[in-house]
Homo-oligomer: A and B are copies of this chain.
Amino acid sequence: MTEVSPLAPAGFPDMPAIDGVRLAAAAAGVKYRNRVDVLLAEMAPGTTAAGVFTRSLTASAPVLRCRAALADGGGIARGLVVNSGNANAFTGRAGDAAVETCVAATAALLDCPADAVFTASTGVIGEPLPAERITAVLGDLHAGLDADAWAAAAAAIMTTDTFAKGATRSVEIAGTTVTINGIAKGSGMIAPDMATMLAFLFTDAALPAAVLQDLLAPAADRSFNCITVDGDTSTSDSVMLFATGRAGNGAVTDAGDPALAAFRAALQDLMTDLAQQIVRDGEGASKFVTITVTGAEHDEAARRIGLAIANSPLVKTAIAGEDANWGRIVMAVGKAGQRADRDRLTIAMGGHAVAEMGSAVTGYDEGPVAAHMKGREIDIAVDVGVGGGRAVVWTCDLTHGYISINADYRS
């Protein structure tokens, strides 16, 4: 059994029920026996939905299906069925058929249109999904639906994850308290747009589907699209947000409505929390790295520079080696393809400047920096000296553990 990541949080959070959401998980034997590998979520009538999916051009059958269902179904949701163990990607027409089988069976159980059922799969690519093993357990799952099964739900979607990932936030919309719960998975093949990363967010807020989408997409850009473990993008990445409306807050018709300020912030905060948990479970990770880029031409340029640093194997191995090797950071800035001023570039580690205005800080005290590099949480700040663009990205180091996991595991 794999050990839990040394960067894992103390435990799974205490997640309250979300009015209108019930969950159940079961062991269907999709790939392994006796492993909980299927999640069913039922959402109350009236639930709206939004989604952000991988930009991979070889997206999995479930991703293609979800995109179509969101477009065709008008953003309503009644069910979500997710399996681990098999990604149902690169499975051709058989893959599409397997999705249809799962969706149709779920829709029949929940007595809803097929387009109100969403689905995701994560695991091995290229093997036919044994849909019949999933449909075989749907009846039991339906009978066992439970408003408090968040930890089981988070566990059901894990693959090489070493801990289940969840987060919860409560805020007010115009005086009404609403809650957002989220679960996520992912530990390898993690990189923007997006990662083998699944995240499912549920709220009792009453929000139209179009508003949900406008809230979800930018928050994903500043959370899940700002993390990377290995620069690899999955065929299955999906982030979905479901809103049951049961909290009964007043009508909101625009994502920019000031009444949503606290909700927007809480959603961003929860998604950032989940995204960071994914990085903390990065395959082989021994250090959690926060990279703040300032002074870029614009925010997107800053994000690209941050990801170039975060994806550099040389930077990541240096961090694993506890080496404050800022030369490799300079290299990564240079390869990002974004404007940077060589003679204004400034780099700090753990808050200590190691390079300023284009060259090493002469005679800087290596002691505090070396001590910082020995810690679990590494902070790197880079100012590229050309503008006001800013971004924060998160990654982990690259260790022997990553090689061990990936030279063996067939994902």
Q: B-contacting residues of A (Cβ < 8 Å)?
A: 54-59, 87, 89-95, 124-127, 188-189, 191, 230-235, 311-314, 317-318, 320-321, 323, 325-328, 330-340, 342-343, 345, 355, 357-360, 398-400, 402-404, 406-408, 410-411
Contacts and interface: CB of A to CB of B under 8 A. Distances in A.
Contacts of A188: 314
A231 B232 contact: no
B57 A331 contact: no
Given A57-B340, A191-B335, A232-B332, 12 more contacts: A57-B338, A58-B342, A90-B327, A91-B359, A125-B330, A126-B327, A313-B313, A318-B410, A321-B408, A325-B410, A398-B403, A399-B407
4 closest A-B pairs by CB:
A125-B327, A321-B407, A58-B334, A56-B334
A47 to B, nearest CB: 30
Contacts of A323: 407-408, 410
B359 A92 contact: yes
B406 A403 contact: no
- Number of copies of this chain that the complex holds: 2
A350 to B, nearest CB: 18
Nearest to A317: B406
Among A125, A336, A342, chain B packs the most CB atoms within 10 A around the CB of: A342
Contact of A126 (B90, B124, B357, B359): B359
B313 A355 contact: no
Contacts of A94: 359
Given A189-B331, A232-B335, A355-B126, A399 B410 contact: no
A328 B407 CA distance: 12
Contacts of A400: 400, 403-404
B90 A358 contact: yes
Contacts of A56: 331, 334-335
A110 B335 CA distance: 35
A404 B399 CA distance: 9
Contact of A402 (B235, B313, B321, B338): B313
